[in-house]
Amino acid sequence: MLIPLLLLGISGLWFAWGILTALWSPLRTIPGPFLSRFTNGWYFWRVVRWQFQVEQVELHRKYGPVVRLGPKRFSFAEPEALKTIYGHGTDFSKSEWYSAFNLPRPYSIERWNMFATSDSKLHAKQRRPFMSMYSMSSLLSYEPYVDECADLFTQRLTEFAHGGKVIDMGHWLQCFAFDVIGLMTSGARYGFLDRGDDIRGIMGALEGMIKYSTAIGIYPRLHPYLYKLQTLLPKGPPSGMNYATSFVEAKIDEYKSGKNTPTTQGDGAAQTFLAKLFNKHRENPKEFTSYHIFAAASSNIVAGSDTSGIALSSILYHLIKYPRCMIALREEIDNSQRQGLLSVRPTFKESSDMPYLQAVIKEAMRLHSSVALPYERVVPDGGATICGRFFPAGTVVGVNPYVQHRIKSIWGEDVEEFRPERWLTSKKDQLALMNRHWIPFGSGSRTCLGKNISLLEMQKLILRIVREFDFKFKEGSSQNWKTENFWFDKPKGWQVEVAVRGKGITEEPVTD
């Protein structure tokens, strides 16, 4: 009897505390769902339905540019907020939500990953030694790996076309993205493109791990306990995490033992990440430790596979949905082809010189960003004024790219329309405004390290498959795909028919 009474008492006190802090809070006038005033439980409950981005847009339509998501958690849909929170010279560190993407303390100090590091100075120190490997000038050394996977991908599409098979295109593009990143990182493909199987459950394990982190990040103090608890279970997110990391470690061991040394390929310019990482380690083993090798190799796989797969899906999905744009892109490709400007395996340089292709990629990533939850940051000491409101230090604030990419004062009335032309015909000022607020790769000092690599993959593969194949949504299927948003907003079961170009499928106009 004593224990239930005690529990009741504690819950009562906790409840009363929640109500009092909500009433006293200087931010109490900021609107939002009623329960979000008292608890982060409301946010947790909505996020684990994996569709929060849609709800967040609605919340901003209902409540305005600043919306409460929790007692000390706020979302912004106002152009000016981006500069204040993520802009140059600001010191808004990443929120504790990100800590669930790493091992809990004290292990995380030894085994850091820069994505989850919150302290800005520490993050800058961790990021600096890797930057050259992800720069534009390094891209040439990764290009042959993309070509090798694009060869296989087009081979698979040809087989599907001849077999008249309907395919889950989202899954196959994910297979491409995983194999590319595996190959350019370690010199070996996982083998996803061979049969389309989720080899050893890698994709499922990563998805489980990210779902766990996204949900538990809302209650980061639970992470150490849940992590410990779940390592005792045979299955669950940590075992997926362990599997993903042991896979990387195995590749590093193979490399060390000399079993895996394809540092060059094609014309000899190719060089894997592992080769670059080991070279750096040999030059300065004290500063660039073996942990640096592991950190970069594993973050490539976790951060660079699903994200690129989703972006590729978004590009192709929108091109199929809007045949007008597919035709326009084809015209650009065919013109370049006629002028002898395109190789059999189009190069990054060739694809960079195609303005409509560039516009298609940007527009697809605007309408469907691979990441679609807020990039959360913490208001620094002294507090900050955002959108005319003062927020005390410690408040969690964030902008969701999915919401940002639908603000009419930036993009115009047709925000929901896929219109690549907006990137080609807008006036200079308008274009600058759009570019500043286009944030699928993040914003500020924490932007994506792998942006150039993903552009390399997207430009080369999309150009090639649009040149060589026709695509159509599966007969009778909806033209509006379903996605699941667990930080990565991933298409689910998106069925497509493929034909070798000009040999089968007729394009039908879109009916929205």
Are 403 and 431 spatial neighbours (Cβ–Cβ below 8 Å)?
A: no
What are phi and psi for residue 493, nearest 5 degrees?
60, 50
Residues between 93 and 122 with contacts to ligand HEM, criterion CB under 6 A? 114-115
Q: Answer yes or no whether residue 311 interacts with ligand HEM by CB under 6 A.
A: yes
| Distance separating alpha carbons of residues 39 and 19, to the nearest angstrom | 9
Q: Answer yes or no whether residue 397 interacts with ligand HEM by CB under 6 A.
A: no
Q: Answer yes or no whether residue 450 interacts with ligand HEM by CB under 6 A.
A: yes
| Distance separating alpha carbons of residues 44 and 218, to the nearest angstrom | 6
Q: Reduce the secondary structure of 20-72 to three states and give it as a string.
A: HHHHHCCCCCCCCCHHHHCCCHHHHHHHCCCCHHHHHHHHHHHHCCEEEEECC
Are 348 and 452 spatial neighbours (Cβ–Cβ below 8 Å)?
A: no
Closest residue by Cα to residue 461 from 131, 233, 174, 93? 174
For ligand HEM, which stretch binds (CB under 6 A), given 234-242, 403-411, 439-447, 464-472? 439-447
Which is closer to ligand HEM, CB of 181 or CB of 206?
A: 181
Q: Answer yes or no whether residue 483 interacts with ligand HEM by CB under 6 A.
A: no
- Among 186, 307, 336, 395, which residue sits at the site for ligand HEM (rule: CB under 6 A)? 307
Q: Answer yes or no whether residue 446 interacts with ligand HEM by CB under 6 A.
A: yes
Q: Answer yes or no whether residue 454 interacts with ligand HEM by CB under 6 A.
A: yes
Which is closer to ligand HEM, CB of 375 or CB of 481?
A: 375
The alpha helices in 469-505, defined as continuous H runs, are none
Q: Answer yes or no whether residue 308 interacts with ligand HEM by CB under 6 A.
A: yes
Which is closer to ligand HEM, CB of 160 or CB of 288?
A: 288
Which is closer to ligand HEM, CB of 40 or CB of 93?
A: 93
Which of helix, strand or coil describes residue 168? strand
Closest contact distance (angstroms) between CB of 218 and ligand HEM is 15
Residue 233: what residue type?
Answer: L
| First and final C-alpha spacing in the chain | 61
Which is closer to ligand HEM, CB of 173 or CB of 434?
A: 173
- Among 167, 449, 462, 498, which residue sits at the site for ligand HEM (rule: CB under 6 A)? 449
Q: Which residue is nearest to ligand HEM (CB)?
A: 450
Which is closer to ligand HEM, CB of 448 or CB of 461?
A: 448
For ligand HEM, which stretch binds (CB under 6 A), given 142-150, 236-244, 341-349, 434-442? 434-442
Residues between 119 and 158 with contacts to ligand HEM, criterion CB under 6 A? 127
What are phi and psi for residue 87, nearest 5 degrees?
-65, 165
Closest contact distance (angstroms) between CB of 448 and ligand HEM is 3
- Among 440, 460, 489, 499, which residue sits at the site for ligand HEM (rule: CB under 6 A)? 440
| Distance separating alpha carbons of residues 25 and 196, to the nearest angstrom | 53
Q: Which residue has the tokens 């592992």?
A: 274
Q: How many residues bind ligand HEM (CB under 6 A)?
A: 23
DSSP H or E stretch at residue 442: none
Which is closer to ligand HEM, CB of 201 or CB of 442?
A: 442
CA quadruple 233, 237, 240, 241: dihedral positive or negative? Answer: negative
Residues between 346 and 375 with contacts to ligand HEM, criterion CB under 6 A? 370-371, 375
Closest contact distance (angstroms) between CB of 301 and ligand HEM is 8
Are 231 and 239 spatial neighbours (Cβ–Cβ below 8 Å)?
A: yes
How many CA atoms lie less than 13 Å away from 506 in the CB half-sphere? 2
| Distance separating alpha carbons of residues 106 and 95, to the nearest angstrom | 18
Q: Answer yes or no whether residue 441 interacts with ligand HEM by CB under 6 A.
A: yes
| Distance separating alpha carbons of residues 428 and 425, to the nearest angstrom | 9
Q: Answer yes or no whether residue 190 interacts with ligand HEM by CB under 6 A.
A: no
Q: Which tokens belong to 234?
A: 């045979």
Which is closer to ligand HEM, CB of 262 or CB of 442?
A: 442
- Alpha carbon distances (Å) from 213 to 230, 297, 397: 13, 20, 19
For ligand HEM, which stretch binds (CB under 6 A), given 157-165, 306-314, 429-437, 469-477? 306-314
Q: Name the residues that contact ligand HEM, by CB under 6 A.
A: 114-115, 127, 181, 299-300, 303-304, 307-308, 311, 370-371, 375, 440-442, 446, 448-450, 453-454
